[in-house]
Chains A and B, each alone.
Chain A
């Protein structure tokens, strides 16, 4: 980085509109650190000028009968959750809550909760975006309808891109009806590895499971949602299928409550690094055999959150991937040369001046 870029670190930018944001980016002289609520993405370690999206707020359109909500990117997640709950709806991807979290941050991180296993991730609920690229150009893609194949799907490209291609200014989301009935079955006395088999049984049968996870305290948890009689029928069928396990109904808790602030955000008080591992559920038992302290299994075992001694790497079978959530970002395995070339090419074209600090 040239020295003048370091000197350019100044007071945070707080654009109040998309046009101001575009002007801020056009006139930027050095790296920017995009901050929504500051809850999910690591800021650029003080060397970049903070760019806060908190001035871009408000739900601009909400049509419950069309299952569609459009909001400016800096809108607090809590405001959106409240608005949809008031209409008996929800964001089906169940974004993990964090105080101050914004919808733009949720989308930039593709942050999705337990219902992802059935309803898809944040990227699957995202149907439109507006963003400002590294040249200060305002770009729109997608729209406000849930079926749209008009042109390339930059909506998916922006979801989970962690601000490396541009600053989101507005997102359009698909909402879903709140299920009238919910039941959570708890299978106690199981280790994380032992939980994989019953979770797999639940997910591979006709039970329409909307969460299949394991937490260190409660054990394995399986959630059923829908019309009340339907939930009762499926719960009985599933219990019969899981005969031999110790099963009880458990109150409808928020299944994400032990990862408040995002996965592993409670880690500073403990040694070691928190890793997020994605694998096939059938690969999870072998991975878990080498992990002393799993923090959470979710998506039927496809997601493992684990604390590992500092400096150590999780063992990864073929196809599995891992990212380090604490300390310096790390991605395992590193991208193959073709993927790396494509990703670098996209970053270079959307952010030609390298303003948006890119994670490893």
Chain B
């Protein structure tokens, strides 16, 4: 991260006083307490912020941002701090504005199929709020118990079921956004349209660099009558990948197709005892609807899978069996964390490239001398290789990072991208030039120039530091 601005550090007391005036009783500045905000889920990188503010309303957020803008202080927005990419990692000269206190449901309309919430509400608590009306909110990142809707919007989060329901941007209708100058703007509209440019569409996924989302109107969907998974085991990862392509090609679009390879299966078995077969690769495929509808869809999927000589095709016959099929997948990250430190990657590739990319990741693993476990959303090509390393072994983190960078370059070469749902943050910032030409990055930075001319919102993220340096330093020198 860039070195903190000494002029800001020197004015710390005056800045804290201005924050107190903007949001009385909502400011944390004791170093013992700001330490709790020193990192997000990318915990290898830490830095306590200058101060933390936990506002209670859009008006307070606006007052806080106005105060920070007046002092030229960078602001790091924070939902629940679950970013795997360092999206909410602070710098020593930045004020963290956290949404933890803004978690109310503002409106539920079943007939208009929408819910309006404050952006600090957790993803799962949005679905919980509408389940009584027979609805759910579709995007379901693995961290949905903890992650905030505001963070989901900043990162355009996905989840296991986006093959059918899309990602966050496909499920937004409107946003209340506070810009860095303190102005408040409503984006989106009915059907998500404003009648002008799709500003909501560009704010979603902008990693908190264009504005701070305080409220969101979300599309909700009628809850399906039921859902049931099958587990299909294969003796090679390539065969599993080919089966995925065949299912999609046949026109059966399940709501989820999840993939796990042997290292991941073994680790989760040891941890969660889900009763998975010991095999090279397995798929978990889920269909939704009433019982006869699910029977029909899973019957077709069985017919296709039989063509790939699966070691096992395990159908669930009860709620408990369904739960056990999902158990290993859902505890995969926790299981890997038990046995090792790991780095979770998020590159996406065309589904057709799956067998080739998996084989190459295996070779890279041998070259770097680090193990890798694969667990991912196979239907949409969003991979999650987990690189295992030992944080206490000198040089291991650096080796893991080098391996990770090689995998992401491989994803881009295969026609894919660096990140499918976690975001760039600080983690993949300096790899952006692998995917984008200078003119492409310049076009993106122009958008930030319009929304945040001073480059104060989450400034040192997303773009390679060398690429954004001119803009960030110009602003600092003008201050």
Which residues of A are at the interface with B, using a C-beta cutoff of 8 A? Answer: 63-68, 88-89, 110, 116, 120-121, 123-124, 133, 137-141, 143-157, 159-161, 164-165, 176-180, 200, 203-208, 226-230, 233-234, 237, 278-282, 299, 302-303, 319-323, 331-332, 335-336, 338-339, 342-343, 345-346, 349-350
When the two chains form their complex, are residues B293 and A227 in contact, meaning their CB atoms are under 8 A apart?
A: yes
Question: What are 24 A-B contacts with C-beta separation under 8 Å?
Answer: A63-B350, A89-B251, A137-B439, A138-B439, A140-B436, A140-B437, A147-B167, A149-B420, A153-B169, A153-B202, A156-B169, A160-B197, A204-B111, A206-B224, A229-B296, A237-B290, A281-B112, A302-B190, A319-B189, A319-B190, A323-B195, A335-B195, A335-B196, A342-B450
Which residues of B are at the interface with A, using a C-beta cutoff of 8 A? Answer: 109-114, 134-135, 155-156, 158, 162, 166-167, 169-170, 179, 183-187, 189-202, 204-206, 210, 222-225, 245-246, 248-253, 289-290, 292-293, 296-297, 300, 348-352, 377, 380-382, 415-424, 428, 432, 435-437, 439-444, 446-451, 462
Q: Which residues of A contact B421 (CB under 8 A)?
A: 147, 149
When the two chains form their complex, are residues B179 and A282 in contact, meaning their CB atoms are under 8 A apart?
A: no
- A339 touching B350 in the complex, CB below 8 Å, given contacts A280-B112, A321-B189: no
Q: State the Cβ distance, A229 to closest chain B Cβ, in Å.
A: 5
Max chain B C-beta neighbours (<10 A), residue from A144, A153, A180, A278: A153
- A154 touching B447 in the complex, CB below 8 Å, given contacts A161-B197, A177-B251: yes
When the two chains form their complex, are residues A349 and B446 in contact, meaning their CB atoms are under 8 A apart?
A: yes
When the two chains form their complex, are residues B158 and A152 in contact, meaning their CB atoms are under 8 A apart?
A: no
Q: State the Cβ distance, B340 to closest chain A Cβ, in Å.
A: 26
When the two chains form their complex, are residues A177 and B196 in contact, meaning their CB atoms are under 8 A apart?
A: no
Q: Which residues of A contact B189 (CB under 8 A)?
A: 278, 319, 321
Given contacts A63-B352, A157-B199, A339-B199, 17 further A-B contacts (CB under 8 A): A140-B436, A148-B416, A149-B155, A150-B432, A153-B201, A153-B205, A154-B443, A155-B201, A157-B202, A177-B250, A179-B251, A204-B113, A230-B293, A282-B111, A299-B191, A322-B195, A335-B195
- A156 touching B253 in the complex, CB below 8 Å, given contacts A148-B417, A200-B111: no
Q: State the Cβ distance, A16 to closest chain B Cβ, in Å.
A: 22
Q: State the Cβ distance, B370 to closest chain A Cβ, in Å.
A: 24
When the two chains form their complex, are residues B377 and A139 in contact, meaning their CB atoms are under 8 A apart?
A: no
When the two chains form their complex, are residues B251 and A180 in contact, meaning their CB atoms are under 8 A apart?
A: yes
Q: Residue of A at shortest CB range from B245?
A: A65
- Option from B198, B222, B416, B439 in Cβ contact (under 8 Å) with A205: B222
Q: State the Cβ distance, A156 to closest chain B Cβ, in Å.
A: 3
Q: State the Cβ distance, A216 to closest chain B Cβ, in Å.
A: 22
- Option from A159, A336, A346 in Cβ contact (under 8 Å) with B201: A159
Q: Which residues of B contact A145 (CB under 8 A)?
A: 348-350, 380-382, 415-417, 420
Q: State the Cβ distance, A287 to closest chain B Cβ, in Å.
A: 11
In whole angstroms, what is the CA distance A123 to B197 when docked?
12
Q: Which residues of B contact A230 (CB under 8 A)?
A: 289, 292-293, 296-297
In whole angstroms, what is the CA distance A150 to B253 when docked?
26
In whole angstroms, what is the CA distance A331 to B428 when docked?
40
